[in-house]
Amino acid sequence: MVQAWYMDESDEDQRKEHRLDPNQPVSPEELQALGVNSYKLDADNYESDPELAKIRQDHNYTFTDIITIHKDTLPNYEQKLKIFYEEHLHLDDEIRYILEGSGYFDVRDKQDRWIRIAMQKGDMITLPAGIYHRFTLDENNYVKAMRLFVGEPVWTPYNRPADDFEARTKYLQLLELKA
């Protein structure tokens, strides 16, 4: 299960844990109530993993590619990291599966507080369309992740405020239904 916790408000390095003191953990059930789902998979055998194949089939994730985020391999590394860490939403679900390395996805809860989700090798996460979120590497400065999508991928981030999109309105309705 992914580990998650409420963040402090310090401006220190984004790659640090930023836990509250005392720590305030967030359970997988609390994440699910925000529409965020996670799976633990066998990242060493992702090419032949029947569990991954079933998830892809069940959700119609027809597209996959792999992104490696490291200063020596990713073109425009610093600029991309900045874009990933700007608070944004997408008009489609964001699905990521960590094959190597680690990083943090931060999502907003219903009270607009940041929750930090620690993603490690074998963790898959689905963020619903319309949820405000961001991504950062952690202090290991390396992640290799599979990106999954239904159909032709669209990665466009819409930075906050992006409240007028239908995806945002629908997400807020989803939250109401789950309450």
Ligand X SMILES: CSCCC(=O)/C(O)=C/O
Annotated binding site for Ni(2+): 88, 90, 94, 133
Contact residues for 176 (Cβ-Cβ < 8 A; gap 6+): none
Say whether residue 145 binds ligand X (CB under 6 A): yes
Q: Burial, 138: exposed, middle or buried (Cβ in 10 Å; 0-12, 13-18, 19+)?
A: buried
Say whether residue 168 binds ligand X (CB under 6 A): no
Q: Which is nearer to ligand X, 115 or 145 (CB)?
A: 145
**E strand segments, 77-157:** 88-89, 94-108, 114-120, 123-127, 133-137, 143-149
Say whether residue 94 binds ligand X (CB under 6 A): yes
Q: How far is CA 115 from CA 21, 66, 67, 108, in A?
A: 14, 25, 24, 6
End-to-end CA distance of the chain: 23
CA of residue 24 relative to chain centroid, distance: 19
Interface region with Fe ion, contact rule CB under 5 A, candidates 41-49, 91-99, 108-116, 160-168: 91-99
Given candidates 6, 39, 63, 84, which one binds ligand X under the rule CB under 6 A? 84
Nearest residue to Fe ion by CB is 94
148 touches 56 (CB < 8 A): yes
Interface region with Fe ion, contact rule CB under 5 A, candidates 49-57, 90-98, 103-111, 164-172: 90-98
Say whether residue 96 binds ligand X (CB under 6 A): yes
Return d(Cα 27, Cα 120) in angstroms, integer.
16
Say whether residue 143 binds ligand X (CB under 6 A): yes
Print the binding letters for residues 31-60 with Fe ion: x by CB under 5 A, - otherwise.
------------------------------
Say whether residue 99 binds ligand X (CB under 6 A): no
69 touches 81 (CB < 8 A): yes
Q: Which is nearer to ligand X, 18 or 96 (CB)?
A: 96
Enumerate binding residues for ligand X (CB under 6 A).
Answer: 67, 84, 94, 96, 103, 133, 135, 143, 145
